[in-house]
Chain A
Amino acid sequence: QSVLTQPPSVSGAPGQRVTISCTGSSSNIGAGYDVHWYQQLPGTAPKLLIYGNSNRPSGVPDRFSGSKSGTSASLAITGLQAEDEADYYCQSYDSSLSGYYVFGTGTKVTVL
């Protein structure tokens, strides 16, 4: 069971901006733990997209950006492109007993 809540799907036309929310609680995001984001293209393994709330690994386009506030975080994709169609997951650390590392429920991004 995912501890972090994301919208099941978001969509946008090419060139548009879309955002994905990730809502947690006081035992994970709200406790100050960093949020990381992963992109999973169809049939492939997840790939790190954003780390430490807002940092992009080398090679990730600056169209992708992340932010965090309180018990939530967001991923924004500006200038949406066809190749951005994928599943996106947020991830953080949780200090409760049920599990240490937690993922979001996942969001499917569709490019119209």
Chain B
Amino acid sequence: QVQLVQSGAEVKKPGASVKVSCKASGYTFTSYYMHWVRQAPGQGLEWMGIINPSGGSTSYAQKFQGRVTMTRDTSTSTVYMELSSLRSEDTAVYYCARGVVERFDPWGQGTLVTVSS
């Protein structure tokens, strides 16, 4: 079955960077785009960007331009999301989600990133 497994929780200091991984299995990795979505505590869902695992091209939400980098490793069917210059407002659960046409299915289990001094 299609499965996305993300890396574990992280605690970072303000100004640092964090890199979250998402390992895909159960389908052809290069055939589907991958999205990253975050959810701050008690808040809604926020789309961050998308990567094409086939060629590596990316597109980021304007809000995160210049701070986020999405990459992939086709040899391990893994995508990565790196967010830099972290601030307290970046404390959130970060999800990867496979893109099927314009929808998200399935989702990874989520990775909690806590930014605290």
Contact = CB atoms under 8 A, between A and B. Distances in A.
A91 B103 contact: yes
A91 to B, nearest CB: 7
11 contacts: A2-B46, A36-B102, A46-B104, A47-B106, A47-B107, A48-B104, A91-B103, A91-B104, A98-B63, A100-B47, A104-B44
A36 B104 contact: yes
Contacts of A102: 47
Interface of B: 35, 37, 44-47, 50, 59, 61-63, 95, 97, 100-110
A94 to B, nearest CB: 9
B59 A51 contact: no
B62 A98 contact: yes
A96 to B, nearest CB: 10
Contacts of B61: 98-100
Contact of B44 (A2, A33, A34, A100): A2
B44 A106 contact: yes
A99 B108 contact: no
A11 B108 CA distance: 29
A105 B46 CA distance: 10
